[in-house]
Amino acid sequence: MALPASFAVRLRAVVVSAALVLGGLAAAAAGPAAALPDTGCRVDYTVNQWQGGFTAQVKVTNLGAAVDGWRLRLTFGGDQRVTNAWNAQVGQSGTTVTATNVSWNASLPTGGTAEFGLQGTWTAAGPVPADFTLNDVPCNGTGSPSPSVTPTATPTATPTVTPTATPTVTPTATPTVTPTGGPGCAGAAVCSGFEDQAGVPAGDWQVVTPNCSGSGTAVIDTSVAHGGSRSLRINGGGGYCNHVFAGTTRDVSAIGPVVHARMWVRHATALPAGHVSMITMADSRDGGRDLRVGGQNGALQWNRESDDATLPEQSPAGVALSTPLPVGRWVCLRYEIDTTRQSIRTLVDDREVAGLRVDGVPTQDVDSQWLRRTTAPRPTTLRLGWESYGGDQDTIWYDDVALSSSPLSC
């Protein structure tokens, strides 16, 4: 059933299958895959849906013997179309979506899990998929979705997401969060204009490619700089493994209680519709999974690797409260993370971005999803680079980077 034009509430549904006895295995069309275990598998499909669009997190659990190489197929019951995916190679033919492992998550031991994400659109209907197969063998034969997850289930939430709510979160608080101090960063845990670097980052900065590596490169550029004569240039390729980062080797685990960050960023290409990351910070309070700054739907966003929660939420109302990043010029990007409570603020060129603010009070279509987790993050690393979960590419320059316990200015 289609949503009315004014209805933009995000829906959440989870389908959890019972373990099923699996039989033989057909050969994998997209490449070799080991035989499935004979005791079963489970798929958890969690969807966040709004008028015309959705994101979904898919978790595959192996309940049998180890599998080396997997392929999951699911069938949409509506007219959904996948436009982007991450942590898997995904294709669609008609209503059938096929997701195959990437190199770093191909192995599924007994009890092991693999997770990947989908982003897409729909027009007439977007019900939860009713069937799944793993390596061509049925996995969720009894996991039909409940009709209660159709868009008509929560019409009472409609008024909370109308555009009239925007003025309540406009950046009126900017004067109270404008950092003090000079343009420098003397005494900060990280204070770098890359002037001591040459060629490939070394010493205080190291090139890192978590999980896999491809065509992405990180180099010191002597022709483009914000201050001084050098900057860090990231040549980011499309596809997950073509990501690349330069990570600081300085100890940032004790910065706080508020972590203040400032950097000048220059993009060659506008933020894409697909999901990308530019800044990652390992969060010691989330099993070391990354807290990420990047983009989606053409706007700046925060993303949490462990559950793919975004800030703002990827509804039209939430995206409208964020901002795109200019291209072809230097932009001052600052953010602050309170490690004692759920509080984040983000500023672009001295202007606070309304949709990228967390104050501990859930706001529909902005930070309700983010605040499902009550523990404040504790960043322990800082990496600057590019990671694309689709085919998007970009060249990014970073300069005059600082991370401090004290406020920083542009």
State pLDDT tens for residues 5-26: 332 333 333 333 333 222 332 2
Q: How is residue 67 written in tokens?
A: 């599998």
Q: What percent helix, strand, coil does the chain show, rounded to 5?
A: 10, 40, 50
- What would you report as the CA-atom Rg of the chain, rounded to the nearest whole angstrom? 22
pLDDT (0 to 100) of residue 104:
63
SS3 string of 237-291? CCCHHHCEEEEECCCCCCCCCEEEEEEEEEECCCCCCCCEEEEEEEEHHHCCCEE
- Report pLDDT digits (tens) over 357-390: 999 999 988 999 999 998 999 999 999 999 999 9
Q: How is residue 308 written in tokens?
A: 């793919």
Is the dihedral angle over the CA atoms 262, 268, 270, 273 positive or is it negative?
A: negative
- Report pLDDT digits (tens) over 109-136: 988 888 888 878 888 888 999 789 888 7
Give the closest residue to 232 by CA, choosing from 219, 242, 215, 245.
219
- Report pLDDT digits (tens) over 280-337: 999 999 999 999 999 999 999 999 999 999 999 998 989 999 999 999 999 999 999 9
Identify residue 215 by its one-letter amino acid code.
S
Q: Is the pLDDT of residue 404 over 70?
A: yes
Query: How far is the C-alpha of 75 from the C-alpha of 93, rounded, in Å?
Result: 10
Average pLDDT of every residue of the chain: 80
pLDDT (0 to 100) of residue 271:
96
Q: Is the pLDDT of residue 223 over 90?
A: yes
Q: Is the pLDDT of residue 203 over 90?
A: yes
Mean pLDDT of 227-254: 94
Query: How far is the C-alpha of 305 from the C-alpha of 116, rounded, in Å?
Result: 11
161 or 310: which carries more pLDDT confidence? Answer: 310
Q: Is 393 left (phi over 0), alpha (psi -120 to 50) or beta?
A: beta
pLDDT (0 to 100) of residue 291:
97
For the chain, list the domains and their CATH numbers: 41-138 (2.60.40.290), 190-404 (2.60.120.200)
Give the closest residue to 295 by CA, choosing from 164, 171, 396.
396
pLDDT (0 to 100) of residue 186:
85
pLDDT (0 to 100) of residue 265:
98
Mean pLDDT of 55-82: 88
Local structure of 25: helix, strand or coil: coil
